[in-house]
Every structure is written in structure tokens, then in C-alpha cells.
Amino acid sequence: MIVTRPQLSWYERLYFPAIFGGMWITLKHLIKRFTGQTKVTMQYPEEKWTMPEGYRGAPTLVKDEDGREKCVSCQMCEFICPPRAIRITPGQIPFNAPNAKVEKAPKEFDIDMIRCIYCGLCEEVCPEEAIYLRKDYAITGLNRQEMVHHKDKLYELGGVMPRPIKKWANK
């Protein structure tokens, strides 16, 4: 397929219409700014953006309504993670514990937020709904070690989230 270029008039070849068009857009923005129709500066952290539905933020671990861990160390999130940001060390639950039928719980659960690409695959693949993406976008740290979120930090950020999957229900 051959695309032919349009023939420009002598006036269009001077590029004045394009230059004046750009200046007109700039002038409209300037007028809107001075009349108060647009706001340029956001006072962060007092003001924050409201994130749209479906925003994929940082992954966190959540507990159920009774404060128990939902994660059963199936390691599916670790296997599906494209940048390999998740590391899980499975641990055993004692036989006399009230939730012993679950069999496993994570001994260590680390997510490297520097490597994480916020794709959401870990949330989608979790069979126990133990990992969720939070809506907060301000993830900071002073060094690399602070950007690796360990199990305690992940539960602190995630909190409690009641969901329909009840793995400890006695039915």
C-alpha cells in the first residue's frame, strides 16, 4: 500500500498554522489557569489522587475475620510472579492447633517491591484469597532492605479482609 503525501500550499509550508495552533492551545491553558478553572499543584501528602476501579497497587497479605492467616503456602503466587519478586518458605502447623487441617502456613513470606511490576497475577492465582493489591501508590523506603516487605509488614499493610472462602469452617 502506498500512501501519498498531501500537497501543501505555500502558506502551510511556512508552518505558521501549526505554530499559531500550538500557541493558541497554550494561551487557552494559561487563561484557564488564571481564572481558576484548572488546578496545577496538588498538596501531597495531604491531598492524594483517587485511584480508579481496577488499579493494581502493591500486593499485601490479609487475614480473615478471626485474625488467622489465610495463606496456606501453596506457592502459586511465587511460581506465577514474572519478575520473581515473591519468596515463600513454607512452614508446618502443629497437629494440636485449632487450624491444623490447613497443614501449612508460611514461615517466611517476602515481596521485593523494587522487583514487583504490579501485574496482579499473584492476586488472581491465589486460591485462598490471601493476597490482595492495595490501592495505595506511595511505597517508599530509604534503602533496598526497606523495600523488601516481610510477612509481618505485609499483614500490617493488608489488615483484615472478610471473604467468602472459609477454609476453617467446621462443616
What is the block-wise mean pLDDT of the chain (171 residues), using blocks of 10 residues? 88 84 94 86 84 88 86 93 96 79 85 94 92 87 94 92 64 48
Domains of the chain: which residue ranges? Answer: 10-40, 59-158
Amino acid 81: pLDDT:
96
Quote the pTM value: 0.69
How far is the C-alpha of 29 from the C-alpha of 37, rounded, in Å? 9
Find all residues with CB under 8 Å of 61, minimum gap 6, and list them.
69, 70, 71, 109, 130, 131, 151, 154, 155, 158
Q: Residue 161: name the closest of 75, 93, 66, 77 by CA.
A: 66
Which stretches within the chain are classed as H helix? 10-13, 16-35, 76-80, 121-125, 151-158
**CATH architecture classification, 59-158:** 2-Layer Sandwich (3.30)
